[in-house]
Amino acid sequence: MSDRKKLYIKTYGCQMNVYDSERMAEALGGQGYVETQSPDDADMILLNTCHIREKAAEKVYSELGRFKGLKAEKPDLKIGVAGCVAQAEGEEIMRRQPLVDLVVGPQSYHRLPEMEAKARSGEKALDTDFPEEDKFERLKSRPKAKRGPTAFLTVQEGCDKFCAFCVVPYTRGAEVSRPVDRVLAEARDLVERGVREITLLGQNVNAYHGAGPEGETTLAQLIWQLDKIDGLERIRFTTSHPNDMTDDLIEAHGDCAKLMPYLHLPVQSGSDRILKRMNRSHTAESYLRLIERIRAARPDILMSGDFIVGFPEETEADFQATLDLVEAVGYGYAYSFKYSTRPGTPAAERPQVPEDEATERLHRLQALITRDQRRIQDAMVGREVGVLFEKPGRQPGQMVGKSDYLHAVHVTGPVESGALRRVRITGSGANSLAGELI
Ligand code: 5AD
Ligand code: SF4
């Protein structure tokens, strides 16, 4: 029997949290922890939290409450809260939920080994600093396990945009880009471990301006560097801000074969009045013109976006402008949210839209988005696409992977995980496409 301690991590929120959870598991791996999929046999439970919307934080508190019985049975069990709720409400969490031994913010999780030791000795450990040192560097040289074919790689963190609704600039801090050589070293390491597709992550990934051999480097220049790595077949990036879609990045979408034809470019609203109130510094019109330029470079690109409905003072006419914009773009994917008041953000103090009105708008928007999503997915039938296979499907002999456009595709046939193959799409189901190998 192994005497290694077991770590259970539950991840909420965005892909950057998924990446952070992997790094936290590696950091605690150095302390003798192995990951487990069940909280019941864990020696340490970490909730990597998200603070972007109200319910996310409430879910964390109710999840913590559920561990009460477990902790009573196992007094040595340590419970930690990480991520953006930890950053925003660290002290409050310690007060409100005495079960919690450890609270670590997203900028200090490289200090987890020391914090774990402190928690083991019976003390509470709290760290929500924004330290100077490079946490990614501090986390290097961990055991190099084999990986699946896709991976995230955080290249940029934080945000200086201060949209009036958003907590990110407060929980993740100011915009910081990782140096080019470190990103490339991590990418090469991932490829050696079996990765074929890398998604570059950042809260504002296209604001990337990492230090490189020739000075400040744009995201497009970074992508062209990654393009040279043999064995890396696909590159994606998320999330982008319309104002940082530079000419070289638009061109890369046309010229770089490894850069996949999918772009997540949140606009939030189609009303210029609301966009202004949101502090978005672009208009609906400038966004539509931008998409025209991107489509000129890469006509088949699949667009994705984020929307907020019921932002303070949003009228029916403002909302109609959002519907019009959605009609005009035709999103292959889109995520829509009801505005949620975030304490400390400028919009929190403004007159709120009644809850039932916001809910009704959300339903109307989602119906429109679903219609377009469906239409675009169905239109894939008969087309030939690249698919990177990841894992066996539900049916015997089935394998599933993602198309260039990020649709899930399943085929029946002899194909291995990690294989990138041409596939003809033969059918479109509820959440995935069916295809056959060419
Ligand atoms: N309320 C609702 N949605 C929000 N988002 C960010 N902050 C809020 C908020 N306070 C949404 C935005 C963003 C996505 C990640 O979450 O649409 O693009
Ligand atoms: Fe938040 Fe994105 Fe706006 Fe930054 S650009 S404040 S992360 S919504």
**Which is higher by pLDDT, 57 or 160?**
160
**Each residue's pLDDT tens digit, 264-317:** 999 999 999 999 999 999 999 999 999 999 999 999 999 999 999 999 999 999
According to the 3-state scheme, what is the secondary structure of 57-121? HHHHHHHHHHCHHHHHHCCCCEEEEEHHHHHHHHHHHHHHCCCCCEEECCCCHHHHHHHHHHHHC
Segments of the chain assigned to CATH 3.80.30.20:
135-378
Q: Which residues 6+ apart lie within 8 Å of 307 measured at CB?
A: 266, 267, 268, 269, 322, 326, 334, 335, 336, 337, 365
Between vectors from CA 104 to CA 100 and to CA 107, what angle results, nearest 5°?
A: 170
Confidence check: pLDDT of 195 > 60: yes
Higher pLDDT, 13 or 292: 292
User: What distance in angstroms lies between residue 240's CA and the mean position of ligand 2's atoms?
Assistant: 9
Residue pair 311/269 in contact by the 8 Å Cβ criterion: yes
pLDDT at 212 over 70: yes
163 lines ligand 2 (CB under 6 A): yes
Instruction: Dump pLDDT digits (tens) for 152-169.
Output: 999 999 999 999 999 999
pLDDT single digits (tens) 326-370: 999 999 999 999 999 998 999 999 999 999 999 999 999 999 999
Considering the chain, tell me which residue range(s) the CATH 3.40.50.12160 domain(s) occupy. 5-127
Give the right CATH number for 384-437 from 3.40.50.1370, 2.30.110.10, 1.10.3720.10, 2.40.50.140: 2.40.50.140
The ligand minimizing its distance to the Cα of 269 is 1
Atom 1 in ligand 2: which residue has the minimum CA distance? 166
- The residue-averaged pLDDT of 375-390 equals 98
Q: What percent of the chain has pLDDT over 70?
A: 97
Residue 374 in tokens: 């469906």
**Spatial distance between the Cα atoms of 133 and 107, rounded to a whole number of angstroms:** 10
Q: Which residues are annotated as a binding site for [4Fe-4S] cluster?
A: 14, 50, 84, 159, 163, 166
Total count of residues recorded for the chain: 438
Q: Which residues contact 321 (CB under 8 A, 6 or more apart)?
A: 269, 270, 271, 272, 274, 284
Q: Which residue's CA is the closest to the ligand 2 atom numbered 5? A: 161
In this prediction, residue 127 has a pLDDT band, given cuts at 50, 70 and 90, of confident
Burial of 85 (0-12, 13-18, 19+ CB in 10 A): buried
Which option is the CATH number for 5-127: 3.40.50.300, 3.20.20.140, 3.40.50.12160, 3.40.50.620?
3.40.50.12160
pLDDT at 31 over 50: yes
Question: Superfamily for 135-378?
Answer: tm_1862 like domain (3.80.30.20)
Q: Ligand 2 centre and the CA of 125: distance in Å?
A: 30
Average pLDDT over residues 255-262: 98
Percent of the chain with pLDDT over 90: 83
pLDDT score for 206: 97
The residue-averaged pLDDT of 115-136 equals: 84
For residue 107, which of 158, 46, 177 has the smallest C-alpha distance?
158
Question: Which residues does ligand 1 sit against, CB inside 6 Å?
Answer: 52-53, 165-166, 266, 268, 306, 308, 337, 339-340, 342
Cα 307 from Cα 291, distance rounded (Å): 16
pLDDT computed for residue 1 by the predictor? 43
